Chain A
Amino acid sequence: MADDKYGQAQWLDKAVAGIRFRPDRAAVRAELAAHLEDKQADLQRIFPDIPPQEAEVRALEAMGDPEVLGRELAKIHKPWLGYLWRLSQVLCTLVVLAALWGAMSGSNPPDIWVHTNPSWLGEQPEDRQEELERIVFGSKIQSRPLPVQGAVEYRGYTFTVEEGTVWEPLAEMPEDRFVPYEQAVLLTLRVEWSRPDQPLAANFSGELWAEDDRGNGYLSYEDYYHNADDMPRWGEAQLLHCGVLARTPFSCVYEVVLPVLNQETGQVKLRYTYGGADLSIPVVLEGEP
């Protein structure tokens, strides 16, 4: 009996020897063993007097030559698919473990969803108007939409002025007024890029400055900060404000507020020159861009 069992085991080993992926080899071996058991049971049911040893031998004979069967099985069971599958399981497990570790170690959450910030001037148009009246002009103002502007491509980034408003005082401003501005431009600037790991530098909003076609310059937040040795305040001289409104992995929307010195100003250029860059985004205040 022991000899026969050994014979069966030997037959099974030979039949699965060509399958190189071990889990497959074990599974196929178990399946073949089950087939053998079934065949043996069938023989014993059909021929009740047959000794179990002979039933086993006959069952093995009925299964055929293990070497021929082994070659066929090896053809079907490609090892690379098994190894790749196992690798993918390991990869998934590692990623889950690393994500848990990352979450527990307090890493920054990924930029895979949209982050939004409220506008500094308020969410509603009337809020913004009130803020501009209060902090820039000190008098009642009216608005008109900014003309549609063209997009600017620069070194793989696309800059688009999406919408904007030009604000002007309703009445002529007194000569001895405290603030020197005659217009204010409020616009949203969308910047897009193609790879999530290459967002525009975080210092963009702080380094954005402007110049107008009358020869006036408007300091960036950073320039003002460095020059004035103090945090800038609203309504102070020739300062551009830029803040992030929304951020996704492929884009960022900035809010730009620019009080303009002269009512005759027809165009301003938003500039980013940090580190030697030379970005210029023209913004036409009236007429066609």
Chain B
Amino acid sequence: MRTWWKNAWARRPKLSRGWKLVRNLVLGAVGGYLLWSFWGYPLPTAEMTFRRLERQHLLSPSELVFSTPEYGQGTDAASKRDRMVEALDGTKLYLEDCWFAGVTEESTVIASVERGLLLAGDGQLRGYARDGGPLLFPLSQSEWEIPRAYWVEVDYSVGAHYTYHNFVPFLLLDVPGETRRVELSLELRQETGTQILPYQADSWDLGGGVWLVGAWREDGQSPSPWLEGSYTLRLYDEKDTLLKQREGAIPRPL
């Protein structure tokens, strides 16, 4: 049997180097495609993945108004998956995964994309209707969990003491440019039961009419991942004059 194999191997057709090259490249391409599909067709950048998500959901390409960086979680991040966004006032805000928000004339789409070591994997997308006014919506892509979001307070007076301030992230779009302060009161349905509780909210100007809002409770209770509830929003200019007030239910995705 061994001799048979040896003879068969010796009788195999001999290819020139050019043909061997072609054979190897074809095999490499087929194998590469298999591998690419094996891992769910990851793309080189998270933004490319976001654009692909738009196409897959039959949406036209939106104009990006908010995105977290592909890399760079900063030194204080709780996880390598977290991405840091710096507000105009210098506050460093951390969000789980790469986030994108884009707008079209009638709607806004948000998506989070998981950024891997070399490639960006799959993500989930949601859309909300725009009506010309300030639009507040949860920065969440699933009904099952709220993405991790926090800012870090470092106290160097006692060595280096880190306090992580977790919050439920919301994005506020279409905010007039003259807005200097956002006041928001939120009431959200709780994780367990039907209880609706008030939340405190901090807001950070990210520029371009985009604000990040963090809702939190001192007792650390969490809302239901469905993020149902109501809000009252007040926007003030630099003289602290009320520019706009809006109240309503937290919108459901389209």
On A, residues with C-beta under 8 Å from B are: 81-82, 84-85, 88-89, 91-92, 95-96, 98-99, 102-103, 107-112, 154-157, 196-201, 203, 249, 272-277, 279
Contact = CB atoms under 8 A, between A and B. Distances in A.
B39 A107 contact: yes
24 contacts: A88-B20, A91-B25, A92-B31, A95-B28, A99-B34, A102-B35, A107-B39, A155-B58, A157-B58, A196-B33, A197-B36, A197-B43, A198-B55, A201-B53, A201-B58, A201-B125, A203-B57, A275-B109, A275-B125, A275-B127, A276-B59, A276-B106, A276-B127, A279-B58
Contacts of B57: 201, 203, 274-275, 277
Given A81-B18, A198-B56, A276-B127, 18 more contacts: A81-B17, A85-B21, A85-B24, A91-B25, A91-B32, A92-B24, A92-B31, A102-B35, A110-B37, A196-B41, A197-B37, A197-B43, A197-B52, A200-B58, A249-B37, A272-B58, A276-B104, A276-B106
Q: Which of A95, A196, A199, A203 has the most CB of B within 10 A?
A: A95
Ordered nearest first, which 3 A-B pairs have the shortest CB separation? A275-B127, A88-B24, A95-B31
A96 B37 CA distance: 14
B253 interface: yes
A274 B24 contact: no
Contacts of A95: 27-28, 31-32, 35
A103 B39 CA distance: 10
Contacts of B125: 201, 275
A198 B57 CA distance: 10
B101 to A, nearest CB: 12
A276 B109 contact: yes
Q: Which of B20, B33, B37, B38 has the most CB of A within 10 A?
A: B38
Contact of A82 (B17, B25, B58, B59): B17
A274 B57 CA distance: 7
B60 interface: yes
Given A85-B21, A102-B38, A108-B38, A275 B28 contact: no
Given A81-B18, A85-B20, A200 B56 contact: yes
Contacts of A274: 57, 127, 254
Contacts of B34: 99, 110, 112
Q: Which of B20, B43, B59 has the most CB of A within 10 A?
A: B59
Contacts of B253: 275
Q: Which of B24, B25, B34 has the most CB of A within 10 A?
A: B24
B193 interface: no
A156 B35 contact: no
Contacts of A92: 24, 27-28, 31
B113 to A, nearest CB: 14
A276 B107 contact: yes
A51 B127 CA distance: 93
Nearest to A203: B57
Interface of B: 17-18, 20-21, 24-25, 27-28, 31-41, 43, 52-53, 55-60, 104, 106-107, 109, 125-127, 129, 253-254
Contacts of B37: 110-112, 196-197, 249
A276 B24 CA distance: 45
A92 B127 CA distance: 42
A155 B31 contact: no
A81 B21 CA distance: 8
Nearest to A102: B38
A275 B38 contact: no
B55 A275 contact: no
Given A92-B24, A198-B52, A276-B104, A154 B31 contact: no
A273 B125 CA distance: 13
A78 B229 CA distance: 71
B174 to A, nearest CB: 15
Contact of A102 (B21, B39, B43): B39
A133 B106 CA distance: 43
B24 A91 contact: yes
Q: Which of B43, B56, B127 has the most CB of A within 10 A?
A: B56
Contact of A275 (B20, B21, B36, B107): B107
B52 to A, nearest CB: 6
A83 B35 CA distance: 24
A277 B254 CA distance: 9
B30 to A, nearest CB: 8
A249 B106 CA distance: 32
